[in-house]
Amino acid sequence: MKRLSLYFTGPYQVSVQEERLPPPAEDQVVVHTQVSAISPGTEMLIYRGQAPTDIPVDETIPDLAGDFGFPLKYGYAAVGRVVAWGAYVGPEWHNRLVFAFHPHESHFLTSPAELIPVSPGVSPEEAAFLPTVETAVNFLMDGQPLVGEQVAVFGQGVVGLLTTALLARFPLARLVTLDRYPLRRGKSLDMGAHVSLDPTAPDALDQVSSLVQKGRFYPGADLTYELSGNPGALDQAIAATGFNGRVVVGSWYGQKRANVDLGGRFHRSRVRLISSQVSTIAPEWSGRWTKSRRLDLAWQMLQQVKPAQLITHRFPIKQASQAYVLLDQHPEKAIQVMLTYT
């Protein structure tokens, strides 16, 4: 059997290569991918050569072992159907529609233990959003929004929009989002934001301050999320946060550096910076929460939010290079980009 596999081969270079796929071992299956979702945050760091090379790709996912050196297979949102299996694989996996944290390729060998059955009624495209919805769930767990709080979200890419959609389900006093691109700001309002602003406007922070309740000492949001992937937005997020507020940093900047002003208001406002990343469960939750419990919740939220509405483009795997050029050069036109397989 042959497969098509996507490789990042250098900065701004991707290649789709045909490879031989061996038959499954007795305890393995072959999955024929139907769709895989491009992660515009992490994958753009890799595509641009900005991912750090001194850390593993992901120590929690077997299919993403290794480092960020080129050439690199990457991707973690593949949905497909089990089309072949070894003698020891139970019949419940035969022809099953499954999700896998697996790189972009048309077919792959794996163990059933690495697969997640797709819930009945969930389309392959919806299921491909599972990791992003789980990330949004994790952001809310780490930020701990409260009834009546004023919340600001910087960045309305895929993960920012899904975080907004989940936050909109809380009885918040105000939910303000910020993004450079009109397409995303419009979608943010659709997902439940009360107001969506352009952070590049000269009076952007003044607009945020006028929309959120004045604090006792320093005005600003109770809870702010920095999800833009832009290090410059972190300084804005801190400035938009009120006394004793929380700033959840969900962006991964890779090798990019943040020039953050911690010398003035930050120091006196007792602002808390919280690093949030989905590979682990925060220690305060680990006594009662497991990754499987969080994943189950992500499935539930996915079916309520219907994230396929965020898909703006679909590219056959052989045209993958066009997908990355689009995300790199025209991010204002794209939200979620899917790769398709026949």
Number of structural domains found in the chain: 2
117 and 201 together in one domain: no
Residue 145 has what pLDDT?
A: 97
The answer to whether 170 and 147 are in contact (CB under 8 A) is yes
**117-143 pLDDT, tens digit each:** 998 899 999 999 999 999 999 999 999
Report field, pTM of the whole predicted structure over 0.85: yes
143 and 261 together in one domain: yes
Residue 58 has what pLDDT?
A: 64
182 and 207 together in one domain: yes
**Mean pLDDT value of segment 186-193:** 98
Q: Is residue 14 part of a domain?
A: yes
Percent of all residues in the chain with a pLDDT value above 70, rounded to a whole number: 94
CA–CA dist 167, 175 (Å, integer): 8
203 pLDDT exceeds 80?
A: yes
141 and 117 together in one domain: no
- Per the rule left: phi > 0, alpha: psi between -120 and 50, beta: everything else, 121 is left
The answer to whether 50 and 256 are in contact (CB under 8 A) is yes
Residue 216 has what pLDDT?
A: 58
Q: Is residue 39 part of a domain?
A: yes
Residues 96, 99, 130, 311: what is their CA dihedral angle, to the nearest 10 degrees? -90
Q: Which of 232, 258, 275 is the last residue of a domain?
A: 275
175 and 260 together in one domain: yes
163 and 270 together in one domain: yes
Residue 67 has what pLDDT?
A: 74
Q: Is residue 294 part of a domain?
A: no
**Mean pLDDT value of segment 189-214:** 90
Output the domain CATH number for residue 87: 3.90.180.10
More confident residue, 54 or 195: 195
CA–CA dist 199, 180 (Å, integer): 6
Residues in the chain: 342
Q: Which of 254, 275, 296 is the last residue of a domain?
A: 275
326 pLDDT exceeds 60?
A: yes
Residue 35 has what pLDDT?
A: 98
252 pLDDT exceeds 90?
A: no
Asked if the bond preceding 71 is cis, omega within 30° of 0, the reply is yes
120 and 193 together in one domain: no
Output the domain CATH number for residue 157: 3.40.50.720
CA–CA dist 276, 223 (Å, integer): 14
98 and 153 together in one domain: no
CA-based radius of gyration for the chain: 21
Q: Is residue 289 part of a domain?
A: no
Q: Is residue 33 part of a domain?
A: yes
Q: Is residue 295 part of a domain?
A: no
44 and 159 together in one domain: no
At 61, is the pLDDT very low, low, confident or very high (cuts 50, 70, 90)? Answer: low
217 and 102 together in one domain: no
**143-158 pLDDT, tens digit each:** 999 999 999 999 999 9
213 and 90 together in one domain: no
Q: Is residue 335 part of a domain?
A: yes
200 and 253 together in one domain: yes
Residue 331 has what pLDDT?
A: 96
Residue 245 has what pLDDT?
A: 93
289 pLDDT exceeds 90?
A: yes
Neighbouring residues of 36: CB distance < 8 A, sequence distance ≥ 6: 75, 77, 78, 79, 102, 104, 128, 338, 339, 341
Q: Is residue 58 part of a domain?
A: yes
- How does the average pLDDT of the chain come out, rounded? 92
The answer to whether 38 and 75 are in contact (CB under 8 A) is yes
List the domain range (segments joined by +) for residue 187.
135-275
Neighbouring residues of 120: CB distance < 8 A, sequence distance ≥ 6: none
Q: How far is CA 91 from the centre of its chain?
A: 33
Closest CA to 337 of 32, 36, 2, 28: 36
Region of poorest pLDDT, from 55-69, 215-229, 249-263: 55-69
Q: Which of 257, 275, 293 is the last residue of a domain?
A: 275
